[in-house]
């Protein structure tokens, strides 16, 4: 009596593993992108909260000209942003409005002083 696997058994096993991988790998990639987007949304909420606190103390929003990167946002508001997928910036055309933007990933995300999100320029409600 011989021990081992036949070539047919090995091929069937490889086909099953390949089929499972072709289904699971794209799903895992999509889930990873969604997780990064949720992190960017969280950072935008933190920026908004910091802006609201700044406004309460100073009567105007920070970055009256612009905070063009995460380092400038941290310096001005003290909000730590560490994300490699999205690039964060903030503009405040007036002392009573601002827009924080996360550029990158699948779509650009923005939040304004009222907490309204947009995704790719369209209104968006994060889950």
Angle (deg, nearest 10), helices 7-58 and 70-77 = 40
Does the residue 83 lie in any domain?
yes
Does the residue 1 lie in any domain?
no
Q: How far apart are CA 49 and CA 46, in angstroms?
A: 5
Residue pair 81/73 in contact by the 8 Å Cβ criterion: yes
What domain range is 46 assigned to? 9-124
Is 72 a residue whose pLDDT tops 90?
no
pLDDT in tens, 75-113: 888 777 876 788 888 887 778 889 999 988 777 899 999
Is 16 a residue whose pLDDT tops 70?
yes
Does the residue 80 lie in any domain?
yes
Does the residue 61 lie in any domain?
yes
φ, ψ at 22 (rounded to 5°) = -65, -25
Residue pair 100/111 in contact by the 8 Å Cβ criterion: yes
Is 65 a residue whose pLDDT tops 80?
no
Q: Which one-letter DSSP state was computed for residue 111?
A: E
**Total domains in the fold of the chain:** 1
Does the residue 4 lie in any domain?
no
Does the residue 3 lie in any domain?
no
Does the residue 69 lie in any domain?
yes
Does the residue 2 lie in any domain?
no
């Amino acid at each position: 009596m011989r021990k081992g696997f036949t070539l047919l058994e090995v091929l069937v096993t490889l086909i099953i593993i390949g089929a499972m991988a072709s289904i699971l790998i794209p799903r895992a990639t999509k889930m990873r992108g969604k997780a990064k987007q949720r992190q960017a949304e969280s950072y935008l909420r933190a920026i908004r909260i910091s802006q609201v606190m700044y406004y309460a103390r100073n009567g105007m929003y920070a970055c009256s000209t612009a905070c063009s990167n995460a380092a400038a946002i941290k310096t001005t508001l003290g909000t730590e942003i560490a994300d490699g997928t999205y690039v964060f910036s903030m503009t405040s055309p007036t002392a009573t409005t601002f827009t924080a933007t996360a550029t990158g990933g699948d779509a650009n995300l923005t939040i304004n002083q009222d907490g309204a999100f947009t995704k790719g320029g369209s209104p968006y409600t994060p889950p």
